[in-house]
């Protein structure tokens, strides 16, 4: 995650859930910290990016970022179940999915378009007691959604995560099987 003006610490997790993060395949991603932005470096990379070839043109040659590179950096599998499904955009569908996954639904003010505000997910995660398997799974799902919204698929606003990823977490045992 690149931050230039306001460094945000990475989302930490309770040590008691580490095995659950490992079983879901998100342990390595959760170890990635915040990269402090170096504006000169970012400007140089932007200037050298060629969108027609999806490569950087550097003085030493052309450089492409491959799927294998990303897999090595994030520790995520490139083989497995495809990430597919319907993307619903109604608040009622989001509300129902959150009730199903977390046992609680966000208010409209806790959402931004088709996204769930990261602050709502952080608050829910921090309120989790970790007393039984269900509360641990809710905690891990919140943490994974925070990773998706910040490190994996963060947007310029950095304030929300699209809720289309939430149904992929419904079967906790199969989370780690996705590509």
Q: Choose among 160, 166, 153, 145: nearest CA to 113.
A: 160
Q: Residue 5 burial (CB < 10 Å; 0-12/13-18/19+)?
A: exposed
Asked whether residue 161 is domain-assigned, the answer is yes
> Per-residue pLDDT for 118 more than 70?
yes
Position 127 scores a pLDDT of: 93
Spatial distance between the Cα atoms of 83 and 57, rounded to a whole number of angstroms: 31
Please check whether residue 163 lies inside any domain of the structure. Answer: yes
In a domain, 135, yes or no: yes
Give me the domain span that covers residue 108: 15-30+80-177
Mean per-residue pLDDT, 100-129 = 93
In this prediction, residue 37 carries a pLDDT of 63
Model pTM?
0.81
**4 is a domain residue:** no
Identify whether 71 is part of a domain: no
In a domain? residue 100:
yes
Q: Is residue 58 part of a domain?
A: no
Asked if residue 143 is part of any domain, the answer here is: yes
Provide the mean pLDDT of the chain.
Answer: 86
Give the 3-state secondary structure percentages of the chain, helix then strand then coil, rounded to 5. Answer: 50, 15, 35
The confidence band for 7, taking pLDDT boundaries of 50, 70 and 90, is: very low
C-beta of residue 178 within 8 angstroms of C-beta of residue 81: yes
Contacts within 8 Å (CB) and 24+ apart, 35-44: 35/1, 35/2, 35/3, 36/3, 36/7, 37/2, 37/3, 37/4, 39/4, 42/2, 42/4
Cα(145)–Cα(120) distance, integer angstroms: 11
Q: What is the tally of structural domains in the chain?
A: 1
């Amino acid at each position: 995650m690149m931050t230039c003006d306001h460094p945000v610490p990475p989302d930490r997790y309770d040590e008691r859930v580490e095995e659950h993060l490992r079983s879901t395949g998100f342990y390595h991603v959760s170890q990635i910290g915040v990269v402090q932005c170096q504006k000169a470096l970012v400007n140089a990379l932007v200037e050298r990016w060629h969108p027609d070839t999806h490569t950087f043109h550097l003085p030493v040659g052309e450089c492409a970022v491959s799927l294998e590179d990303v897999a090595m950096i994030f520790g995520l599998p490139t083989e497995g179940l495809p990430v597919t499904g319907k993307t619903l955009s109604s608040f009622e569908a989001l509300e129902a999915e959150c009730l199903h996954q977390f046992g609680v639904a966000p208010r409209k003010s806790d959402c931004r378009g088709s996204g769930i505000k990261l602050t709502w997910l952080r608050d829910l995660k921090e309120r989790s007691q970790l007393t039984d398997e269900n509360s641990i799974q809710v905690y891990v799902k919140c943490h994974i959604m925070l990773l998706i919204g910040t490190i994996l698929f963060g947007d310029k606003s950095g304030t929300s995560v699209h809720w289309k990823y939430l149904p992929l977490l419904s079967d906790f045992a199969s989370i780690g099987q996705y590509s």
